[in-house]
Amino acid sequence: MPVQIVQQSQSTQVRSAPPVKNGQTDDFSRILVRARNSAQPEQRLSSPSSPPRHVPAISTDASDWQKYRDEQLLSNPGGENYFIPSAAQSEESSTIDNLTKDLSDVVDNIGNFFQNLLFGAETHYRDEQGEVQTSQNRGLVGSLVDLVCDVGSALSFGAWRPDGEAAPEGFQERASFVFDKLTEAVADDVVAGVGGSVNHMGEDLLLAGWNLVEMVPDATISNVDAAEKVVSNVFDNGQVVIDYLTDVLPGAEAWLRIHATDLNDNQVPVFYNLTTPENFTGDTRWEQVSNTPLRKALETVGSLLADGAMLMLLGQLPSTSQDHH
């Protein structure tokens, strides 16, 4: 299968610490800004000394399923032909090569768990030209730092602005500033940031376990060509299923797309996502996916079922508490 080397671009957004009136920078603000810079989603160049990591090329006329499957296998370590370590690269894979790949995937997913615990792990996606790009998730610690900054800005009525925004003037501007910062704290920092990072951490552990299980058939029957193909397809498709199930959970990436709104264009949840084009760059929530009709259908059904399950669970809480009295 033809492969292409991962192409990565650099586009970082750096927050600057606001100056203090006496000409010095507040130490606490500087610390928080540095932490927020580490937590920001970004695209970064890989280290020149890192080993070559390959991914399979995808046809320009690929089906919706092929695009969806490819994007899911790109997003996390584990795919059979995705990000193969140099130690396992050979024309004909052997049992040792397969086990090396499996172990590498286990280590990478565990590493991603700890990175998502802090300031976010790297992930990959294809741009409109089909080139593989690298971005960074938001981490749990980074999201909590963002939450402290946004709540602090709101409670100070704009007097403390670690993001470096212009100071609000007058009652109306300050009230609007407080409302925007509290909204950002809840929707962006808590739901998308904290919720998303916890979701990624759970996904990392599930995939690490899945890769560990894959070592069993790879160690026993992978030397038979037919068996190796079956094992690869089963575990690659299993990874896609795990990615899908975690994507549609409340607060996860697909769930956020389904529940997105745009009040300026009178767009409501569900229908907003359904009306977006396949390659939509007008909102960061869609920039890293091909929003094909298949993806829209899968994510809509899964997210709404997750909503229903959550409502049923919440509905059981009062009756459960009453049973104890």
- What's the pLDDT at 303? 97
Determine which of 32-41, 43-52, 274-283 has the lowest per-residue pLDDT on average: 43-52
> In the Cβ-directed half-sphere of 229, how many Cα atoms lie within 13 Å?
2
Confidence category of residue 87, pLDDT binned at 50, 70, 90: low
- What's the pLDDT at 53? 61
Report pTM.
Answer: 0.79
**Which stretches of 64-139 are DSSP H helices?**
64-75, 95-117
72: nearest Cα among 58, 53, 86, 89: 58
pLDDT, tens digit (0-9, with 9 covering 90-100), for 232-280: 999 999 999 999 999 999 989 999 999 998 877 788 999 999 999 999 9
- What's the pLDDT at 322? 53
- What's the pLDDT at 129? 85
Cα–Cα distance, 297 to 254 (Å, whole number): 11
- What's the pLDDT at 186? 92
- How much is the average pLDDT of 113-141? 93
- What's the pLDDT at 13? 38
- What's the pLDDT at 249? 94
- Residue 75 in this model has a pLDDT that exceeds 60: yes
Write down the domain spans for the chain: 3-247
- What's the pLDDT at 2? 40
Under 8 Å between Cβ of 120 and 44:
no
CB atoms within 10 A of CB 137: 23
Cα–Cα distance, 253 to 299 (Å, whole number): 10
3-state secondary structure of 227: helix
Residue with tokens 């086990």: 99
10 against 66, higher pLDDT: 66
End-to-end alpha-carbon separation of the chain, Å?
Answer: 64
- What's the pLDDT at 57? 84
- % of the chain residues with pLDDT over 90: 54
